[in-house]
Amino acid sequence: MQKTVLITGASKGIGKELALLFAENQCNLILTARSGDRLELLKEQLESRYGISVYPVVKDLSRPGAAGELFREVKEKGLDVDYLINNAGFGDYGSFADTPWERYEEMITLNITSLTHLTHLFVQEWKGRKRGRILNLSSTAAFQPGPMMAVYFATKAFVLHLSEAVGNELKKDHITVTTLCPGPTSTYFGEVSKMNASQLVRNVKIADAREVAELGFKAMMKGKSMIIHGTMNKLAPFGIRFLPRKWVTRLSAKVMRRYK
Ligand SMILES: NC(=O)c1ccc[n+]([C@@H]2O[C@H](COP(=O)([O-])OP(=O)(O)OC[C@H]3O[C@@H](n4cnc5c(N)ncnc54)[C@H](OP(=O)(O)O)[C@@H]3O)[C@@H](O)[C@H]2O)c1
């Protein structure tokens, strides 16, 4: 039977690549983001190319209550979701004190609250039927504090810890929770987050969004708990385990400093 996937942030970047991958694998898609025009275009292209059904839902998940609305709209359409991909997220490069509070409020609501709420709503439904897979987008930012992107790094640490704990609880219910941790990847993220101004993006290889999406897709299908993209990205979280936390933060501050 054809499966259905709900992907947040499916209009661009890694989320769009994930949508293409699920379409290639004959899944029906519920695609959500704020850009309705981009979602409609994807619907048109993917339905005709793959003979699947695509349901665009325009939603700003940085608004309080938006995740609940999305869940209700999916139910009203009579759709049964097999896979949940919590991908939508953004960061903001700049000093903590000088960034407007409203920006952080939106980031926390999108990166943390909506992701947690959607996860909670779907696992409640899935517990009874004993199946379901979740892929949550975290980042290599999850493994250390990130001066100049303090709130973003902290939201991604939350995603990783939440996903690992919930995945452990749900093992007995045959529901898997996979966390994908990419490093810098070629999407709109660098522009939206202004992260292109940091030393970080000058010193690392920028990954391809399709490659990152494929890694996440495969890990989710295998029910892996966590996957990091890239060899260097894998080494860093391991190496810093042996350093005092104060040093780790200082190192991170060096990597994150402004170069322009
Ligand atoms: N690219 C990287 O370097 C990188 C590295 C590590 C982790 N990540 C994570 O990967 C995920 C995907 O990011 P990306 O790199 O693909 O960035 P992107 O190209 O900017 O795409 C972000 C997606 O999220 C959607 N989105 C943004 N704000 C939203 C909101 N308020 N409500 C609903 N949807 C919203 C965007 O669509 P609309 O604008 O149409 O709403 C878009 O589809 C994020 O969670 C990010 O933190 C990215």
Measure 141 CA to ligand 1 centroid, in angstroms. Answer: 15
**Residue nearest (by alpha carbon) to ligand 1 atom 23:** 9
Ligand 1 atom with minimal separation from the 8 CA? 34
pLDDT of residue 211: 98
CA–centroid distance, 33 to ligand 1, in Å, is 9
End-to-end, the C-alpha distance of the chain in Å comes to 53
pLDDT the model gives residue 201: 78
Ligand 1 geometric centre to CA of 89 (Å): 4
* Backbone dihedral angles phi then psi of residue 215, each to the nearest 5 degrees: -60, -45
> Which strands, in side-by-side order, build the sheet including 4-8?
54-58, 28-33, 4-8, 83-86, 132-137, 175-181, 226-228
Expressed in angstroms and rounded, the spacing between residue 156 Cα and the centre of ligand 1 is: 13
CA dist 86 and 83 (Å) reads 10
Name the pTM for this structure.
0.97
Kindly state the tokens that stand for 218.
């495969």
**Which residues on adjacent β-strands are paired with residue 178?**
135
- The pick from 6, 20, 34 for probing ligand 1's pocket by mutation, whose C-beta has the most ligand atoms within 8 angstroms, reads 34
What is the full per-residue pLDDT of the chain (260 aa) written as tens digits? 899 999 999 999 999 999 999 999 999 999 999 999 999 999 999 999 999 999 999 999 999 999 999 999 999 999 999 999 999 999 999 999 999 999 999 999 999 999 999 999 999 999 999 999 999 999 999 999 999 999 999 999 999 999 999 999 999 999 999 999 999 999 999 888 888 888 887 778 899 999 999 999 999 999 999 999 999 999 989 989 999 999 999 999 999 998 76
Check if CATH label 3.40.50.720 holds for domain 4-256. yes
For a pocket test of ligand 1, which of 42, 90, 116, 180 has the largest count of ligand atoms closer than 8 A to its C-beta?
Answer: 90
Q: Note the Cα 50 to chain centre separation in Å.
A: 25
**How far is it, in rounded angstroms, from Cα 195 to Cα 178?**
26
- For the chain, the domains span 4-256
Q: For ligand 1, which residues put their CB under 6 angstroms from it?
A: 9-15, 33-35, 38, 59-62, 87-90, 110, 137, 139, 182, 184-185, 187-189, 192
Q: CA–CA separation, 93 vs 192, rounded Å?
A: 9
Residue pair 172/199 in contact by the 8 Å Cβ criterion: no
What pLDDT sits at residue 223? 98
* Residues with catalytic roles: 152, 156
| Region at 249 (left for phi over 0; alpha for psi -120 to 50; beta for the rest) | alpha
pLDDT at 220: 98
Task: Give the pLDDT score at 260.
Answer: 62
| Contact present, 52 and 28 (Cβ < 8 Å) | yes
Can you give the pLDDT at residue 193? 86
